[in-house]
Amino acid sequence: MPDCPICGKPVVKPTPGAPRGAYPFCSDRCRQVDLGRWFDGRYAIPAEEAEPDEDDPRDGRG
Ligand SMILES: [Zn+2]
């Protein structure tokens, strides 16, 4: 029996053909918690840093 990835409670695996419900979470609440983590940035991909809009003073040597 799988465990809820959020709270660790045992989750009853749904039978084939039956609606999944909140699986693999124990409840819809835990499912929402997981979704919230995505928006919270825990799983977010680091974005590229914006380049500073300044001219390089060392440019034009010679
Ligand atoms: Zn849970």
Question: Do residues 25 and 34 lie in contact, with contact meaning Cβ atoms separated by under 8 Å?
Answer: yes
How remote is the CA of residue 27 from the centroid of ligand 1, in Å? Answer: 6
pTM metric for this prediction: 0.56
What domains can you pick out in the chain, each with its CATH number? 1-11+22-44 (3.30.50.10)
How remote is the CA of residue 18 from the centroid of ligand 1, in Å? Answer: 20
Count Cβ atoms within 10 A of the Cβ of residue 15 and give its class: 0-12 exposed, 13-18 middle, 19 or more buried: exposed
The 10s digit of each residue's pLDDT in 24-46 is 999 999 999 998 888 776 655 66
How remote is the CA of residue 41 from the centroid of ligand 1, in Å? Answer: 20
Angstrom distance (rounded) from CA 50 to CA 5: 35
Task: Identify the residue with better confidence: 18 or 6.
Answer: 6
